[in-house]
Structure 1
Amino acid sequence: MAENCIRIRSASTDDVPRIRELIVGLARYEKLEHEMQASEQQLRDALFGDRPSAEVVIAEVNRKSVGFALFFHNFSTFVGKRGIYLEDLYVEPEQRGHGIGKQLLSYLAKLAVARDCGRFEWSVLDWNQSAIDFYRGLGATGMDEWTVQRVDGEALVALAAQYQP
């Protein structure tokens, strides 16, 4: 496949069913399919509702959607600028190795520069060494001194209940 056959574009509401299919593919790859709960309507609201909370770009090869990147803005108090946080990056397995992931990441890097962002960052599963090597090859730096913390489900409800106004 010639690299010039790859097209990256912003998603539209018509893409929501395909975005969800690609997310299911990502969940399957990451062995997290049991955690996949997002419906098409939830995605439509989150991406295209009155107050969108994320954006998606689609990778196409010969007009077929073969990958996506879902991202949102965060803010660095130290840098004093917003950044782009890549929540999900996925390319269908049979399409890997043709530069699609690199095109998605460089597109987002260009977007970050155009939007005057101070950084572009993401997380990767520690067992996904091929992805880690790929990211390092693009100039990414591992933030090994940091760990991800999460509160969800019942623990989120319990923590919220501890707030005393």
Structure 2
Amino acid sequence: MVNVRTIRRLSAADAPRLADLMTAYRRAMSGSEEAMTPEQATPLIERAVSEPDLLLLGADYGGALAGFALAFDLPEIISGSRAGQLDDLFVMPEARGSGLARALIGELTEIGTARGWTHLRWLVPQDNLTAKRLYLSIADPAPWDSFRIELSQRRSI
């Protein structure tokens, strides 16, 4: 079987498979066993279709949706232009090594170039060495650190 890669914007018909991918992504990132349902995935897809600043791309591989990327088109105050923020990127384990992550990022850079973005940026978990190897082969490390405040456990500021 030839495993053809296709990167595309998702539609409402993709909700069941996107829900499966998001469930697997949750497990990989947080260990959460909470399943995402198609009913929960559908509004995200509908929002991405209706809001031009929200980009939800899917990666088909071997005839099925095997990965996704969620990104935002944001104002970039330093340049006075816009930049892309890749928020989530996930490829199912059985499709890893197929080039889907690289293709998703490539599609975002094409979109960003067309939109006049100054850059595309993203975060990666510190212990995800496989992803870091890919990212170092296609991008430069950013000159900043990342911080977050867990709002459910918020300390006084």
Q: TM-score range by the shorter chain?
A: 0.7 to 0.9
Amino acid at match of 1:45: P
Residue-by-residue CA offset, 1:6-52 (whole Å, 9 max, x unaligned): 01110001112211211111121223425x58654444334314964
User: For residues 39 and 2 of structure 1, do their structure 2 counterparts lie closer, same or farther at Cα, with a shift above 3 Å needed?
Assistant: closer
Identity of aligned residues (%): 23
Shift of 1:149: 2.0
- Equivalent residue number for residue 10 of structure 1: 9
Work out which of the two has the higher radius of gyration on C-alpha atoms and give 1 or 2. Answer: 1
Amino acid at match of 1:106: G
Shift of 1:150: 2.7
Residues in 2 aligned to 1:48 and 1:152: alpha-carbon distance in whole angstroms? 27
- Equivalent residue number for residue 32 of structure 2: 33
Query: Gaps spanning 5+ residues in structure 1: where?
Result: 160-165
Residues in 2 aligned to 1:28 and 1:11: alpha-carbon distance in whole angstroms? 22
Amino acid at match of 2:121: E
Residues in 2 aligned to 1:2 and 1:25: alpha-carbon distance in whole angstroms? 25
Residues in 2 aligned to 1:77 and 1:45: alpha-carbon distance in whole angstroms? 30
Counterpart mapping for 1:7-156 below 5 A: 7-33=6-32, 40-49=38-47, 52=51, 54-143=54-143, 145-153=144-152, 155=154
Counterpart mapping for 1:154-165 below 5 A: 155=154
Query: Gaps spanning 5+ residues in structure 2: where?
Result: none
The alignment's TM-score, normalised by the length of structure 1, stands at 0.79
Amino acid at match of 1:22: L
User: For residues 117 and 2 of structure 1, do their structure 2 counterparts lie closer, same or farther at Cα, with a shift above 3 Å needed?
Assistant: farther
Aligned residue pair count: 155
**Structure 1 ranges of 4+ moved more than 6 A:** none
Amino acid at match of 1:125: P
Residue-by-residue CA offset, 1:37-73 (whole Å, 9 max, x unaligned): 8654444334314964732111112331111111112
The alignment's TM-score, normalised by the length of structure 2, stands at 0.83
Residues in 1 aligned to 2:16 and 2:31: alpha-carbon distance in whole angstroms? 19
Shift of 1:94: 1.2
Q: Secondary structure in 2 aligned to 1:48?
A: helix
Shift of 1:107: 0.7
